[in-house]
Amino acid sequence: MEPGGLEWLLVPMQQLVSWGAAGAMVFGGVVPYIPQYRDIRRTQNAEGFSTYVCLVLLVANILRILFWFGRRFESPLLWQSIIMIITMLLMLKLCTEVRVSNELNVKRRSFAAADSKDEEIKAPPKRSYLDFDLNYFWHWSKFTDYVQCILTFTGVTGYITYLWLDSSLFVETLGFLAVFTEAMLGIPQLYRNYQNRSTEGMSIKMVLMWSSGDTFKTVYFILNQAPFQFSICGLLQVFVDIAILLQVYLYSHYPQKPVSHTAHPASTKAL
């Protein structure tokens, strides 16, 4: 058989593999959150999930979309960001509803100023428009407050990007910030494990899913010659995942002095 005889089969196969890889990039990042979402919905308990996961990924993917306007990278990476933003908003909505329904006699906190008729909030006059109290940042009582915060961030960063879009230094820095923010997602988990000298309460299955996903994503970046920021920060994510898995091994085989755990995990990957 001539070498070109199988070309009719190889070309469609290569195209199919390419489509499969692109589909995995677009939707693979949200897969770990599907069982988490279903579990929270079933148990009506969101204590095991830190909404700071949503904050980090929303910021990272908004910046990545803005980076696309300055440097047009592959479409699957753009769609990945859009799908991730939608997923994080859905997670935020569910977690907020569950948390508020489980709280009793707790003052309502909001991003925007509350109605003066609301007896539950007696905000000082100097905070008449926005509540930027860091003690309550990202711990608001309504999903709409999170949406307002994200829209404000998007508007400000979008306007700055529009003004500096012609600056290659700004665009490259924006791209680095986008992927570096996402790469730092596992650092709080790493630090929390170190503080507690334990990985108790952390989903090992979730970390394994993150590790496999980050590895695939990094290989995809390298093979498809994505902007260098993506490859560097992808490698950083893989190293952080490996470090967390090493902690699992270390603390399970060499138990450390137990430390009391707080009700709200500080981790962003403690899913």
Q: What is the pLDDT of residue 122?
A: 44
Q: Domain limits of the chain?
A: 11-106+139-253
Q: What is the pLDDT of residue 269?
A: 46
Q: What is the pLDDT of residue 52?
A: 83
Q: What is the pLDDT of residue 113?
A: 54
What is the per-residue pLDDT across 127-170, written as a single tens digit (0 to 9) for each? Answer: 444 445 667 788 888 899 999 999 999 999 999 999 999 999 99
What is the per-residue pLDDT across 63-72, written as a single tens digit (0 to 9) for each? Answer: 999 999 998 8
Distance between start and end Cα atoms, the chain: 54
Q: What is the pLDDT of residue 222?
A: 84
Q: What is the pLDDT of residue 1?
A: 47
- Is residue 241 within 8 Å of residue 189, measured between CB atoms? no
| Percent of the chain scoring above 90 in pLDDT | 24
- Is residue 269 within 8 Å of residue 206, measured between CB atoms? yes
Q: Which two tokens stand for residue 129?
A: 């428009």
Q: What is the pLDDT of residue 22?
A: 74
Residues 6 or more apart in contact with residue 80 via CB below 8 angstroms: 25, 26, 27, 29, 61
Q: What is the pLDDT of residue 120?
A: 45
Low-confidence spans in the chain with pLDDT less than 70:
1-9, 11, 48, 104-134, 201-203, 256-271
Is the pTM value of this prediction over 0.75?
A: no
